[in-house]
């Protein structure tokens, strides 16, 4: 899979450069109005000084999905093969399709689901719904941000009376409740520092996300063979359909109950990763031993998340 690194800023610049090279200053201003971009903020704001900057200013704040729509319009009107190439990268990156059933952060007994509409793949939770979270809003090309998740949480819990900081704290506490150990909580807490530093427009880190669903207990009659990993430890839904899985590896991932190396258990884990990657997911593993010393573990996580952000142009 060829990973797309097309970020909104890249597409903004590409549109600005294309219009700069194709149109005169007056035509740039007129074309921006025609495709629905905001008119100048003041009479002094013109395309005469810099056509590229004039266009980029009007594209500021646009989401990736909105920028794609604008790039398509520009291509339709002016024939822009360079923009078509960027759009193609966005369309082919990551996991095919868009998220539909996002169930995560269970803090109690496993839920049970049925297909309420098998034709549309609509599901309904018929038992233990109170113990899990279900994000039921559309997730587009821009991925799922902390701001999106907090707005959904506010409506779900009727928390409109809380300010932004209080709302984020409430949501973060609920996500922490779904985690089983201090190492998982350290990962979620270190990422939460990024919300404070960078704002709510960065991707949300979702804990305990269901990937496979087997309605039967493992090993019982009717259970699905070979489905060992039903939940991902953490998931980031980034722009361009990129999905990043973060797994915390404790001793149970590579050793038996007595602590002896278990090659079969390790092989099963590797096979699952292989299948995920073939489907377009990016998988990163963190060894539990890396987090045993809290100061060094926190420093490692901060560096990892920073590099992750750079790699995916977040």
Quote the DSSP letter at residue 255.
Answer: B
pLDDT in tens, 273-312: 888 888 889 999 999 999 999 999 999 999 999 999 988 8
Selected residue with higher pLDDT from 44 and 178? 178
CA–CA gap between residue 55 and residue 50 (Å, rounded): 9
Q: What is the pLDDT of residue 222?
A: 56
Span 82-90, mean pLDDT? 82
Average pLDDT over residues 26-49: 87
Structural tokens at position 115: 């297909």
Tokens 């989401």, residue located: 63
User: Which among 268, 300, 265, 105 is positioned nearest to 183, based on CA atoms?
Assistant: 300
CA distances from 280 to 92, 235, 236 (A): 10, 13, 13
Farthest CA pair distance, the chain: 76
- pLDDT value of residue 226: 47
Q: What is the pLDDT of residue 239?
A: 84
DSSP single-letter state for residue 39: P
Token duo for residue 263: 């090659």
pLDDT tens, position by position, 139-173? 877 899 999 999 999 999 999 999 999 999 999 99
Residue 2: predicted pLDDT: 41
pLDDT digits (tens, 9 = 90+) for 239-255: 878 899 999 987 676 66
- Compute CA distances 272 → 213, 231, 232, whole Å: 15, 12, 11
Q: Bridge-partner residues for 203, per DSSP?
A: 145
Higher local confidence (pLDDT), 133 or 250: 133
More confident residue, 229 or 146: 146
Q: What is the pLDDT of residue 45?
A: 85
Count how many Cα atoms sit within 13 Å of the Cα of residue 25 in the half-sphere of its side chain.
7
Give residue 3's pLDDT band: very low, low, confident or very high (50, 70, 90). Answer: very low
- Quote the strand ranges of the chain, DSSP E: 102-104, 112-117, 122-127, 133-135, 205-210, 231-237, 243-249, 282-287
Query: Where is 183: in which H helix or E strand?
Result: helix 182-198
Burial of 143 (0-12, 13-18, 19+ CB in 10 A): buried
Q: Report percent pLDDT > 70 for the chain.
A: 91
Q: Give the residue-averaged pLDDT of 80-98.
A: 77
Q: What is the pLDDT of residue 216?
A: 63
Buried b or exposed e, range 237-260, using 16+ CB within 10 angstroms? bbbbbbbbbbbbbeeebbeeeeee
C-alpha to C-alpha distance for 117 and 38, rounded to whole angstroms = 42
Rounded distance between C-alpha atoms, residue 191 and residue 305, angstroms:
7
Write down the residue that tokens 């919300």 correspond to.
195
Place of tokens 């194709």: 22
> 17 pLDDT exceeds 90?
yes
Give the tokens for residue 268: 């099963």
**d(Cα 227, Cα 211) in Å, to the nearest integer?**
10
Task: Find all residues with CB under 8 Å of 91, minimum gap 6, and list them.
Answer: none
Asked if the model's pLDDT at residue 227 lies above 50, the reply is: no
Question: Which range among 7-21, 88-102, 217-231 has the greatest average pLDDT?
Answer: 7-21
């Amino acid at each position: 899979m060829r990973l797309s690194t097309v970020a909104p800023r890249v597409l903004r610049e590409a549109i600005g450069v294309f219009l700069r090279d194709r149109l005169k200053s007056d035509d740039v201003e007129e074309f921006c109005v025609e495709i629905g971009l905001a008119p100048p903020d003041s009479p002094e704001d013109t395309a005469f000084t810099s056509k590229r900057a004039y266009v980029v200013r009007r594209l500021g704040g646009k989401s990736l999905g909105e920028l794609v729509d604008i790039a398509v319009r520009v291509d339709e009107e002016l024939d822009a093969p360079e923009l078509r190439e960027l759009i193609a990268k966005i369309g082919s990156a990551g996991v095919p399709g868009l998220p539909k059933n996002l169930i995560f952060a269970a803090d109690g007994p496993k839920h049970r689901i049925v297909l309420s509409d098998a034709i549309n793949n609509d599901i309904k939770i018929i038992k233990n719904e109170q113990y899990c979270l279900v994000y039921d809003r559309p997730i587009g090309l821009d991925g799922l941000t902390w701001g999106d998740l907090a707005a959904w949480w506010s409506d779900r819990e009727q928390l409109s009376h809380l300010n932004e900081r209080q709302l984020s704290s409430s949501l973060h506490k609920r996500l922490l409740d779904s985690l089983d150990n201090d190492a998982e909580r350290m990962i979620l807490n270190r990422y939460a520092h990024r919300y404070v530093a960078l704002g709510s427009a960065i991707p949300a880190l979702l804990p305990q996300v269901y990937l496979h669903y087997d309605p039967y207990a493992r090993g019982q009659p009717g259970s699905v063979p070979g489905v060992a990993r039903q939940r991902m430890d953490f998931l980031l839904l980034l722009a361009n359909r990129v999905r990043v899985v973060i797994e915390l590896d404790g001793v149970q991932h590579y050793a038996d109950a007595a602590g002896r190396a278990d090659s079969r258990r390790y092989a099963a884990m590797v096979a699952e990763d292989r299948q995920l990657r073939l489907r377009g997911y990016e998988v990163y593993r963190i060894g539990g031993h890396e987090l045993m010393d809290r100061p060094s573990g926190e420093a490692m996580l901060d560096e990892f998340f920073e590099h992750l952000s750079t790699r995916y142009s977040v």
